[in-house]
Amino acid sequence: MKFDLPSFLLGYGAGASSVLIGKHLRPLLLEIATAAYRFGDALIARVAMKQEDLEDLLAEAQARARGRSRAPSPEAQA
Amino acid sequence: MVVFFIDEQPAPARVVRHSVAARRLRLEVPALRADRFLARRLERTARTWPGVLETHAEPRSGRMLVCYAERAPLLARLSEQPDEAPAPPAASAAVPRAGPQAPWHALAVEEVLERLDSAPHGLSRAEAARRLRRYGPNALMLEGQRSRLAILGEQLVTLPMGMLMGSAAASALAGDRLEAAAILAVVGLNAGLGYHIERRNQKLLASWQRLEAGMAQVLRDGVLQRVPAAELVPGDVLLVRAGDVMPADARVLESHRLTADEAALTGESEPQHKEPAAVKEGTALAERGSLLHSGTVIASGHGRALVVATGAGTELARVRRLVEASAPPPTPLARRLDQLNRRVAVLSAGAAVLAGAAGLAHGRPVARVLRSAVALGVAALPEGLPLVATAALVRSMQRLHARGLVVRRVSSAETLGGVTVICADKTGTLTRNEMRLEVLDTGEGPLELAGLKARPEHVLEHPPTLALAAALLNSDVDVHRNGQELTISGSSTERALVKAAHAAGLDGAALRHDFPRLKLQERSEGIHYVVSSHQAPGGGEVAFIKGAPEQVIPLCERGLRGPLGARGRERLLRRNEELAAQGLRVLGLAWRRLPARGAALPAGGYTFIGLMGLRDPLRPGAANSVRLARSAGIRTILVTGDQQHTAEAIAREVGLRGEMLGAGELAPLLTLPREVLRERLDRLAVLARVTPEDKMRLVHALRELGEIVAMAGDGINDAPALKAADVGVAVGARSSDMARQVADVVMAGEDLRDIIHAVGEGRIVQDNLRRALRFLFATNLSELALVVSSSLLGLPDPLSPMQLLWLNLLTDTLPGVALSLEPGNPDVLDRPPAPPDAPLLPPPVLRLVVRDGLLMAGLGAAGMALGGPPLAFGVLTATQIGYASACRAAHATWRPARGGSPRFMMLIGGAVALQVVALTFPPLRSILGLPALSVWSVGGLATGLVLPRLVSGQPGWSHRVRRGRLCANRLPLRPSEVSP
């Protein structure tokens, strides 16, 4: 492989700077990663909820369409 | 509602949906989210419910499905619960609530006890626990911190950053990936710099927001207990004694020589006597003798007090709320840079539209038009500006740090330079907040205290020794000797007396041993003196009186030289008035031998010993700092919570002349029309007996009139004004935590002249920034003019975006930094401050910027005509580097002054070296699109470096210029030149 000085300098600079500023960057990266996880979890939860809502809707519709007897209307909280 | 019990802890579940026909319940269980094991447990639990057919708990959504049979009437009756409002943040759950409110200082002790449903022996433990749940912990809420992400986001969401990111996107669209990456690197660099500075400031803030977990002695179930201060509740009975820091606001139930040092809260320099007697409802905070306030210190005595307010209900919390409610004003630098940025953005957008239209009119392809737009965006923006501004401010911060001043808000270093009014607190700021014996007059004129030597073997025979011994023996202080160090606790007045006695050579312990105290009659209603009786060394007993001279002198029959008589007493009373008029706190001293052992303390027949005058002395350099401020065109206003006569005496001492306003006089003044208000505030020199709100209102009023206000203070009562001011300066290492938290600058030392030196540093920053801005804008204008004119004329682009970035980031930034680090003019404090509304680039400088920018563009165009785009780049870069020397202060030379720093030359040399590398180093040359080195390139570099210096008329060899000419030549810093 041909030695390319600019690429070498860029790579070396990137490595050296990541070592030098890594200590200061870690908390920021941690926060960014936490925010990313939170976003991911919230997205997964939202998708799961929508899926469940759809299941509930279809189940209720099916029950009504097939004439399942109605339960007593909700009156009080248990 | 359904409630699960998980490990015996209730976990409420909400019915999200009830599909009645399908007999399906969807329950939301917050604890279920992301917990698979709990999901399985809940499923097993729910299956045991009667009539349940199927369950499925889903950890992803935190919800659980329950399908039930027809024979499950209990489940069938559950109804859906609406979405709840978003839960408040967790932190607010522990927010303390204010307890019962009442004018506690004006109510009798019995009524206070009744209203708080308490008793002199305190609350029961159960009741205290109940109240703790009801009112919350006795703690102040902390201000929320911005997250790292939010700080980083703020750096990116600015107009110049948006333009740069837009340029990067356009570059990427045009297929120039290297350019796009370089522009994004610039965005990252600037954002990283801003983030680093903001984050460091935030860390400083956080380190000051520590909770003090003190302990308090309270009566619970009638038994004395030590409990954490955070667990105090309204109704608790506290035991307080000298040295205690009050953990809550409390009503005095019982006092024994109880005084509290409230200087931090009220500005009152003298410890205030605290008694159970109620005071009038409208009494000022500083005069509420029946209340002890949170954050103040018990100076002497001991007593019992009923907690009436904790946490958010205390006076301390009220001041803190005031602080939190007022947002710190944007600094003039931030305001002006913002204004400048907007104008540059408009100019850049206008130029891009013009060049784009011209390009399309010339029938150029869209990609090329896009490239030109990117080049314009990059050319117009001074990318190196944040670095240059930061360098100037950080240099100033370092120099101030060396003088013991810590700058918390970076831009405050520049704001200091524009200060037009300094509002200075008195106690602890202009004065030391430490009483000192200044005058001892035994009836024959004041004695020289510095050379005073006591004679411990002749206490009753030597008048000065007798005076000091009487003051010491009559005082109620604790003296501890730790090696050479003497620790004295008690009221500041008595501490000063005891210190003076020790300084004169009296040993307190030996004296107390020789004169053991027998009785002590304290101050009481209408009696403003203390009498103590002691056993005398030669047998018999003696009594000493110390107190208000107007009450002590009438009790005296004799002076130290013989009978006093009515005229003698009158003479002493006149002397007392003279001393009081000098702002001294005066005490009269007298003594007598007692007729028989154990006799009652007589109310007359005393021998007058002398008058003692005490004062809270000025801090070093206080008077000088006021004079220095005046000569720098800055007005000083003394703002204090202390008494009017004390404030007046201090103002006289420091040389402040003008009108004095007292309590309640500020509010009506602020309702006056603007011009009248300006006239009255211009005459104002002293504002006495004011509350923290008044201090803040004064600062607001001054700022609204266009002044740049610095507030110097140290107490809790100064905190709102410190935050409201353009620059808040917390004075002294002993300043309160709250003052340090909100101040922009914290002084570790006590020399007030440092504030004026800081103003000088600020002015140097302003001068340097103006020079650097002149340089950056002129060079950017030259690039803009060259790119736009080529585009209009249909010529090839003279500079690529990469070359422009190279110019703006490296070869321009280094000279810019060099200009921002100049040492400054020696006469910086001999001139008035620049008008607060003066722009960063006033019209005369703006004209220079346009002229110089066009000249440089002309040189670049000449290069373009002679050698094409590569020579245009070479000539323009060299011209810009050479132009830096034309922007220097008139007195500056290429050669560093004797003892001066060669920094300017080094940085300019660095820029030249970088340009040489760009012209000679092949990889860099290929990135910048430059051909191999030629005679033209070297010639262009040399011409560019020398020409601006010759054109500007400042030959490098003239390194001595007379100071008179200097001031006349100086760039636009005189107000007459910069006023609109």
Domain limits of chain A? Answer: 25-65
Residue B840 has pLDDT above 90, yes or no: no
Q: Are residues B522 and B492 in the same domain?
A: yes
Q: What mean pLDDT do residues B909-931 have?
A: 84
- Residues of chain B with Cβ-Cβ distance to A41 below 8 Å are 33-34
The answer to whether residue B2 neighbours chain A at the CB level (below 8 Å) is yes
Q: Are residues B573 and B649 in the same domain?
A: no
Selected for mutation to probe chain A from B23, B55, B75, B195 (highest A CB count within 10 Å) is B23
Distance from CA of A16 to the nearest CA of B (A): 16
B556-559 and B606-615 beta bridge pairing = parallel
pLDDT digits (tens, 9 = 90+) for B928-977: 888 777 777 777 777 777 777 666 554 433 333 333 333 333 333 333 33
Kindly name the residue from B236, B425, B642, B754 that is annotated as catalytic.
B425
Joined together, the tokens standing for residue B265 give: 């809260």
Which of B615, B632, B657 lies at the terminal end of a domain, its last residue? B615
Domain assignment of residue B735, yes or no: yes
Tell me how many domains chain B contains. 5
Q: Among A45, A60, A71, select the one facing B61 at the smallest CB separation.
A: A45
Domain assignment of residue B742, yes or no: yes
Residue B47: how many other CB atoms lie within 10 Å = 12
The terminus-to-terminus CA distance of chain A in angstroms comes to 75
Q: Among all chains, which residue has been given the structure tokens 């102040």?
A: B140
Residues 6+ apart with CB under 8 A from B522: B256, B257, B530
**CATH for B811:** 1.20.1110.10
The answer to whether residue B19 neighbours chain A at the CB level (below 8 Å) is yes
Q: Among A6, A68, A76, select the one facing B77 at the smallest CB separation.
A: A76
Question: Is B148's CB within 8 Å of A27's CB?
Answer: yes
Residue B588 has pLDDT above 50, yes or no: yes
B63-68 and B52-58 beta bridge pairing = antiparallel
Q: Among B2, B62, B147, select the one facing A45 at the smallest CB separation.
A: B62
Q: Give the integer Cα–Cα distance in Å for A13 and A19.
A: 10
Q: Are residues B627 and B684 in the same domain?
A: yes
| B693-699 long-range contacts, CB within 8 A, separation 24+ | B693/B322, B693/B720, B694/B666, B694/B667, B695/B423, B695/B425, B695/B639, B695/B720, B695/B721, B696/B322, B696/B326, B696/B720, B696/B721, B696/B724, B697/B666, B697/B667, B697/B670, B698/B423, B698/B637, B698/B639, B698/B666, B699/B423, B699/B724, B699/B725
- Residues of chain A with Cβ-Cβ distance to B27 below 8 Å are none
Binned at pLDDT 50, 70 and 90, residue A1 comes out as: low
Distance from CA of B61 to the nearest CA of A (A): 4
Q: What mean pLDDT do residues B77-106 have?
A: 61
Q: What mean pLDDT do residues B526-545 have?
A: 86
The answer to whether residue A45 neighbours chain B at the CB level (below 8 Å) is yes
Q: Give the integer Cα–Cα distance in Å for B191 and B156.
A: 6
Share of chain B above pLDDT 70, in %: 87
Question: Is B61's CB within 8 Å of A56's CB?
Answer: no
Task: Give the Å distances, CA to CA, from A5 to A9, B783, B796, B918, B921.
Answer: 6, 30, 31, 15, 11
The answer to whether residue B78 neighbours chain A at the CB level (below 8 Å) is yes
Q: Are residues B421 and B440 in the same domain?
A: no
Binned at pLDDT 50, 70 and 90, residue B227 comes out as: confident
The pLDDT of residue B900 is: 45
Q: Are residues B687 and B802 in the same domain?
A: no
Binned at pLDDT 50, 70 and 90, residue B891 comes out as: low
Question: Is A44's CB within 8 Å of B70's CB?
Answer: no
The answer to whether residue B920 neighbours chain A at the CB level (below 8 Å) is no
Residue B863 has pLDDT above 60, yes or no: yes
Binned at pLDDT 50, 70 and 90, residue B83 comes out as: low
In B, minimum Cα distance to A67 occurs at B21
Question: Is A5's CB within 8 Å of B923's CB?
Answer: yes
The pLDDT of residue B970 is: 34
Put simply, the chain B residues between 154 and 213 with a CB less than 8 A from any chain A CB are 195-196
Domain assignment of residue B147, yes or no: no
Which of B279, B297, B325 lies at the terminal end of a domain, its last residue? B325
Q: Are residues B519 and B643 in the same domain?
A: no
The answer to whether residue B83 neighbours chain A at the CB level (below 8 Å) is no
In A, minimum Cα distance to B20 occurs at A71
- Residues of chain B with Cβ-Cβ distance to A25 below 8 Å are none
Binned at pLDDT 50, 70 and 90, residue B253 comes out as: very high
ipTM of the modeled complex: 0.70
In B, minimum Cα distance to A53 occurs at B17
The answer to whether residue A73 neighbours chain B at the CB level (below 8 Å) is yes
Phi, psi (5° rounding) for residue B870?
Answer: -60, -40
Joined together, the tokens standing for residue B246 give: 């009050």
Distance from CA of B31 to the nearest CA of A (A): 14
User: 3-state DSSP call for residue B57?
Assistant: strand
The answer to whether residue A65 neighbours chain B at the CB level (below 8 Å) is no
User: Count of alpha carbons within 13 Å of B103, Cβ hemisphere only?
Assistant: 11
Q: Among all chains, which residue has been given the structure tokens 């990283």?
A: B192
Question: Is B24's CB within 8 Å of A35's CB?
Answer: no
Which of B572, B598, B615 lies at the terminal end of a domain, its last residue? B615
Q: Among A52, A72, A73, select the one facing B63 at the smallest CB separation.
A: A52
Domain assignment of residue B178, yes or no: no
- Residues of chain A with Cβ-Cβ distance to B26 below 8 Å are 52, 56
Q: What is the CA radius of gyration of chain A?
A: 28
Q: Are residues B413 and B454 in the same domain?
A: no
Cα four-point dihedral sign B353, B358, B359, B361: positive
CB of B979 within 8 A of CB of B835?
Answer: yes
A16: left (phi > 0), else alpha (psi -120 to 50), else beta?
alpha
Distance from CA of A40 to the nearest CA of B (A): 11
Q: What mean pLDDT do residues B855-882 have?
A: 87
Q: Among B2, B61, B73, select the one facing A72 at the smallest CB separation.
A: B73
pLDDT digits (tens, 9 = 90+) for B101-155: 788 888 898 998 988 888 888 888 888 888 888 888 887 655 556 677 887 887 7
Q: Are residues B931 and B792 in the same domain?
A: yes
Q: Which of B782, B895, B829, B915 is nearest to B382 (CA)?
A: B782
User: Count of alpha carbons within 13 Å of B880, Cβ hemisphere only?
Assistant: 34
Domain assignment of residue B155, yes or no: no
B529-535 and B517-521 beta bridge pairing = antiparallel
**CATH for B67:** 3.30.70
Average pLDDT over chain B reads 80
Question: Is B20's CB within 8 Å of A74's CB?
Answer: yes
Cα four-point dihedral sign B671, B651, B440, B484: positive
Selected for mutation to probe chain A from B15, B61, B65, B68 (highest A CB count within 10 Å) is B61
Phi, psi (5° rounding) for residue B212?
Answer: -95, 110
Q: Give the integer Cα–Cα distance in Å for B459 and B441.
A: 17
Per the annotation, the verdict on B441 as an active-site residue is no
- Residues of chain A with Cβ-Cβ distance to B81 below 8 Å are 77
Tell me the residue length of chain B. 980
- Residues of chain A with Cβ-Cβ distance to B18 below 8 Å are 74
**CATH for B127:** 2.70.150.10
Q: Give the integer Cα–Cα distance in Å for B384 and B822.
A: 17
Q: Among all chains, which residue has been given the structure tokens 């209730």?
A: B10
Q: Are residues B955 and B822 in the same domain?
A: yes
CB of B590 within 8 A of CB of B606?
Answer: yes
* Domain range enclosing B237: 94-141+211-325
The pLDDT of residue B305 is: 93
